[in-house]
Amino acid sequence: MKLHELIGDKAEGLSEREISFITDNTKKVIKDSIFVCVKGGSFDGHTAAQEMIEKGAALVVCERDLGLGDKQLVVENSRKYYGELCAAWFDHPEKKMKMIGVTGTNGKTTITTVIKSILMQNGHKTGLIGTIRNEIGDEPVHTENTTPMAYDYMELLNKMYKAGCEYVVMEVSSFGLAQYRIGPTYFDMGVFTNLTQDHLDYHKTMENYYQAKKMMFDSCGYAVINTDDEYGKRLFGEIVCDKESYGANENADIRYTDVSMRANGTDFELEVNGDKHHISMMMPGMFNAANASAAAAVCIKAGIPAERVFEAIEKCHGVKGRCEVIPTGRDFTVICDYAHTPDAIENILKSVREYTDNRLICLFGCGGNRDAKKRPLMAKAAAKFADKLIITSDNPRDEIPEAIIDDILKGIENSDIQFDVVVDRTKAIYHSLKIADKGDVIVLAGKGHEDYQVLPGNEHIHFDEREIVSEGLKLID
């Protein structure tokens, strides 16, 4: 692509040339490429600018004068500009499809999955970008981040467009927003689920976290906001785009009521435009009534008749690792869930409590190299609804597992909750199965869809809780 085609008026004063590639990665610079100097947590691309020119880069994009003459382009925010460059490089695929973004701490994966299912069932080929997987229609695509890095994101959108996708529904993370990974994406529709403590190792404060999430609605046509959540109420009052609220509260525009739960699903009434509709779906949990309500609001706004939206919701099987019942063939139940924040663990346990006949046992840990402040809060949240806790490891990463557990235990120092500590997560799961009685429900929280565990030394091992439960059941026979 010609330089002026890529950067427009900014090419003035720069010699015209054919650009071979664009990147912010020093390892990917090739002859006649553009290198964008981005300052990260441990490396500042500006320090490598001269070296990249010597390596063959035709131009470096930077935030200050580096003395490189007509081989530099100075911009106010190079990270943001890189997102815009990536969009231009792929001829703006984000403008060629209807974009639906879902942001918030919890519920993103379920809502995006349900929206995609509704759209696909109604004949609209849809791309999915999310935590568990990316999909082009029914075709899975490898994923590394909840919100891909800028170049990968636009490349993926381009593939979706060329494959005939009409819609893209995506989880939009606070990292993706704060780091401008989505470039100039305009969301035709957006959803805000909630905001609870998470990622403060990066954002430092809840206010910063909120402001990052809010960025999505600066470029959005229609928003569906959960006003059961305090941050949702605030957001609803602050954004200026067309908007509707959802929730259980009586003032919500899209309101769910009369929720009854069972181990394999949820029944509820959904009020939309003054009309009540009964929904019986295969996804268990009070929070899934909220998730389904948000998905319904988006798809009705997209023009799909309400009855067809509700029929599609009832056919959804839910999401792997989200309140997923693992078959045991025993007189107790095992549920696998991704809950890894205080709010999420409280939500899953509160919902499961509704259909627990005997004890509710919660097994969980906390990830290493992540927000340590939430560790005792996780324990407090779990102790609210569980009868017994089994405290173990999650992904310890570079931290000592026992030290993480010590942080967790601070949250129940003054509690009378029964708990066992089993550091090895496999042994902890075996222990939960061994102590389970008739009518007990065991919630394995934190790993969800993940089929790996990250140990100290960045060692990745295969770790699928479905397989471990199956193995553990054989051991207790």
Q: What are the angstrom distances between the C-alpha of 107 and each of 290, 342, 343, 355? A: 9, 14, 11, 21
pLDDT tens per residue, range 294-341: 999 999 999 999 999 999 999 998 888 888 889 899 999 999 999 999
Q: How far apart are CA 37 and CA 414, in angstroms?
A: 51
Is residue 348 within 8 Å of residue 318, measured between CB atoms? no
Is residue 226 within 8 Å of residue 206, measured between CB atoms? no
Q: Which amino acid does the sequence have at 152?
A: D
pLDDT tier at 465, thresholds 50, 70, 90: very high
Neighbours of 342 (CB within 10 A): 23
pLDDT tens per residue, range 377-387: 999 999 999 99
Q: What is the pairing mode between strands 265-272 and 333-337? A: unpaired
Residue 200, pLDDT above cutoff 90 = no
What was the pLDDT predicted at 328?
Answer: 92
pLDDT tier at 477, thresholds 50, 70, 90: confident
**Could you tell me which residues are beta bridge partners of residue 129?**
134, 170
CA quadruple 152, 158, 161, 163: dihedral positive or negative?
A: negative
- What's the whole-number mean pLDDT along residues 241-261? 95
pLDDT tier at 202, thresholds 50, 70, 90: low
Mean pLDDT for the chain? 93
Domains of the chain: 3-79 (3.40.1390.10), 93-315 (3.40.1190.10), 324-475 (3.90.190.20)
In 3D space, the residue among 422, 460, 415 whose CA is nearest the CA of residue 444 turns out to be 422
Residue 283, pLDDT above cutoff 70 = yes
Residue 50, pLDDT above cutoff 70 = yes
Neighbours of 267 (CB within 10 A): 14
What was the pLDDT predicted at 251?
Answer: 94
pLDDT tier at 367, thresholds 50, 70, 90: very high
pLDDT tier at 82, thresholds 50, 70, 90: very high
Is residue 111 within 8 Å of residue 191, measured between CB atoms? yes
- What's the whole-number mean pLDDT along residues 74-95? 97
**Could you tell me which residues are beta bridge partners of residue 73?**
61
Percent of the chain at pLDDT exceeding 70:
98
Q: How far apart are CA 371 and CA 62, in angstroms?
A: 31
Residue 199, pLDDT above cutoff 70 = no
- Indicate the burial class of 142 (C-beta count within 10 angstroms; 0-12, 13-18, 19 or more): exposed
Q: What is the pairing mode between strands 265-272 and 275-281? A: antiparallel
Helices of type H across 204-252:
206-214, 230-238
In 3D space, the residue among 33, 35, 37, 53 whose CA is nearest the CA of residue 45 turns out to be 37
Residue 201, pLDDT above cutoff 70 = no
Place of tokens 């994101």: 153
Q: How far apart are CA 31 and CA 475, in angstroms?
A: 59
Neighbours of 187 (CB within 10 A): 26
**Could you tell me which residues are beta bridge partners of residue 470?**
none
Residue 144, pLDDT above cutoff 80 = no
What was the pLDDT predicted at 264?
Answer: 75
- What's the whole-number mean pLDDT along residues 449-461? 90
Three-class secondary structure of residue 276 per DSSP: strand
Residue 214, pLDDT above cutoff 70 = yes
pLDDT tens per residue, range 390-445: 999 999 999 999 999 999 999 999 999 999 999 999 999 999 999 999 999 999 99
What was the pLDDT predicted at 86?
Answer: 97
